[in-house]
Amino acid sequence: MMGRLWMAVPMIGLTALSPAAVLFGSLVKDGNTGLDGSSLIAYSNADDDWMLVARPSGQSTLEHAVVRPASGWLGDSSDYRWIGAESVRGNPGQDLPGDYVYLLQIALPGSFDPSTQLAKIQGRFASDNVGYLFLKAYSLAGSGYAGSLLNNSGASPSTAGAWTAFDLTLAPSQLSGSAGNYSVDLYFVVNNAGTANSNVGLLVDFTDARIQSIPSEPVPEPATLALGAGALAAALARRRRRA
């Protein structure tokens, strides 16, 4: 299984903004897997917002297709559907063992200024098997998924049968691009465990995306400054008298 994985570079990321990038203001709904705007994508059709940027060699079927939930997976809703590595989902599936890396690029507004603003993203995900969440760059099994922000290995009853929540406040170092063209590169690495072919799936539901101002340090009022200066002068006078 390990020979099939793409892991020559420990941490991998993109530098250019994809034409398929989802606008930050439309992330809730439009960024969800299996959704185009506010419309569900038909089964076996591709969700082109999500790009499969790495997969086990030999896996050549439609890698970001909208698929029907397999046995034990969370159900679909009017807000999301699963995406997977086959154009038709069966149970058991025929996806090769190894790591599947899905990328969603999120375009921040051109006016976004990381020195004065924060971008916050909240949501939840499920996967089959364990999924690892990364920002800006990702790593694979050979590196122990180093740098992942969280994973859903502890989900109960299973990683595919329960949601795992995420709450991201993005630091400037976690953004891609430059002034006027910042983006968030959100990676989910889904590991298809074992040595036999089986189902691979990813389900993502964004619940909130907002930009807020960074609180500035309070500036003392003139009266406060005067009181502080007076106290300092009194303390100096007492020290001189004692000397």
Q: Which pLDDT score, from 0 to 100, does residue 8 have?
A: 34
Check pLDDT > 70 for residue 9: no
Least confident of 28-32, 96-100, 112-116: 96-100
For residue 27, give every residue at least 6 positions away whose Cβ sits within 8 Å of its Cβ, in sequence order, or none: 106, 121, 206, 209
Distance CA 109, CA 88 (A): 36
Q: Which pLDDT score, from 0 to 100, does residue 44 have?
A: 84
Q: Which pLDDT score, from 0 to 100, does residue 74 have?
A: 97
Residues 128-151, mean pLDDT to the nearest whole number: 95
Q: Which pLDDT score, from 0 to 100, does residue 36 have?
A: 92
For residue 59, give every residue at least 6 positions away whose Cβ sits within 8 Å of its Cβ, in sequence order, or none: 85, 95, 96, 98, 100
Residue position matching structure tokens 């989802």: 22
**The model's pTM:** 0.81
Check pLDDT > 70 for residue 94: yes
Distance CA 84, CA 62 (A): 8
Least confident of 9-13, 95-99, 176-180: 9-13
* Ramachandran sector of residue 57 (left: φ over 0; alpha: ψ -120 to 50; beta: rest): beta
Residues 150-163, mean pLDDT to the nearest whole number: 96
Phi and psi dihedrals of 113, rounded to 5? Answer: -125, 105
On the CB side of 9, CA atoms within 13 Å amount to: 7
Check pLDDT > 80 for residue 109: yes
CB contact burial 72-91 (16+ within 10 A = b; e otherwise):
ebbebeeebbbbbbbeebee
Number of domains in the chain: 1
Percentage of residues in the chain with pLDDT exceeding 70? Answer: 75
For residue 139, give every residue at least 6 positions away whose Cβ sits within 8 Å of its Cβ, in sequence order, or none: 7, 10, 11, 12, 145, 146, 147, 148, 189
Collapsing DSSP states into helix, strand and coil, what is residue 170?
strand
Task: Give 80's pLDDT tier (boundaries 50, 70, 90).
Answer: very high
CB contact burial 198-211 (16+ within 10 A = b; e otherwise):
bbbbbbbbbeebeb
Per-residue pLDDT of 218-234, as tens digits, reads: 655 655 445 555 555 55
Collapsing DSSP states into helix, strand and coil, what is residue 200?
coil
Show the domain range for 219.
2-242
